[in-house]
Amino acid sequence: MSNQSRILVVEDSKFFRTLVCREIARRIDAEVVTAQSLAEAKVKVEAAARPFDLALADLILPDAQEGEVVDWLQGHGVPCIVFTGIFSDELRERLLAQHIIDYVVKDTPSSLNYLMGLVEELSRNRQNKVLVVDDSATARHHIAGLLQSYQFQVVEAEDGEQGLAVLAADPDIRLVVTDYHMPVMDGVEMVKRMRATHDQDRLAIIGVSSGGGSALSARFIKFGANDFINKPFLPEEFLWRVMQNVRMLDMVKRLTELTVIDPLTGLHNRRFLFDAGRTLIARAARDGVPVTVAMIDVDHFKAVNDTYGHDGGDAVLRRIGAVLRSMSRASDVVARFGGEEFAILATDMDEAGARTYFERLRAAIAAEPVPHDGQALAVTASFGICHAAQGALDGMLKTADEMLYRAKANGRDRIEGV
């Protein structure tokens, strides 16, 4: 199934319809379908090859003056954001009671920014998985339904023990929403055990309960929850508490990436290579599998910079980074070592297999010129490899670097190694 969002925009004003469609196209990867009336919206939904993920709907349409479009879309399983020029507290309460995602008044330019920010977040939510833990099937399905309307992937568990098992089996879970009152193991005890294996910067946990008040909230937070919500809660409050916690995870992730990702190539950087590499080599030694370390250097890179400028050099580095990333295995550590040098740590390959693997990478780099300013830059790279049953990272990198110098001395665009 395609990961591209499908969004239905129901708006009779050509100006707003065009504006919204243009902003969606600018901000996210989405297929946008438009309708100018309830009748047209019905046709588009019923004829769709796959369901819409989201609808942005005006309340007042030529053939539906009382917001009937929201009732119809919700009834057909299409999550809705209402984007309209009408506002009243009574109307807002009625719409939120229908479990729409949000109600946005199109009265100022900032309201469009708010709407598009929400659409962007909902689109990102499709990559996030949430675990809901509650022994009450009714309460569990209610929360799961809200989260699904916010575009999250949702998995469920009936009690604390099952919640721990589901989390242990699924590393993609980023958020847990748990009740307190459950048989076998209560929510606080489950949170305490989850925190033994999952830090707060990788997994957010929200406790919910219909009783206990501030004392229970304090217990949840004390033992590792990020947030707590009293039942019953407004769907609007629940949405923004959830989104706030996901934003915090994303912020920490971005800050972490800044310290370990090379911004030009998107590969890991030298710091990550040493941190992760030592762990990888220690694990390989424990499991009795061989390790191969490769040092890679772009041939005649100074000439590229002198001839085509740093923009040309950057284009070459990005291209090589893309080749290494696309052709390496998920278990490999691939990093930009510095300047025009790259490094790869690969485990569980015999010596012949390692040479074949790196020869394939060398050939791929040489096979396709790098486009730059209407020209095709021919690029090659030299490889030095160190293959060993076991060894220290620093020593293997030193040996691989010596082999790299030998490859350069012997004509470049080749592999040398031991």
46 is catalytic: no
Residue 379 to residue 367: CA distance in whole angstroms:
8
Helices marked H in 5-159 = 14-27, 38-47, 68-75, 89-97, 109-125, 137-149
Q: How far is CA 303 from CA 67, 105, 310, 371, in A?
A: 66, 58, 11, 16
Whether the CB-CB separation of 241 and 229 falls below 8 Å is answered with: yes
- Considering 340, 341, 368, 402, which one is annotated as catalytic? 340
Of 10, 245, 266, the closest CA to residue 125 belongs to 245
Buried b (16+ CB within 10 A) or exposed e, 354-381: bbebbeebbeebeeeebebeeeebebeb
Residue 191 to residue 139: CA distance in whole angstroms:
19
Of 144, 129, 131, 126, the closest CA to residue 52 belongs to 126
3-state secondary structure of 261: strand
List active site positions.
340
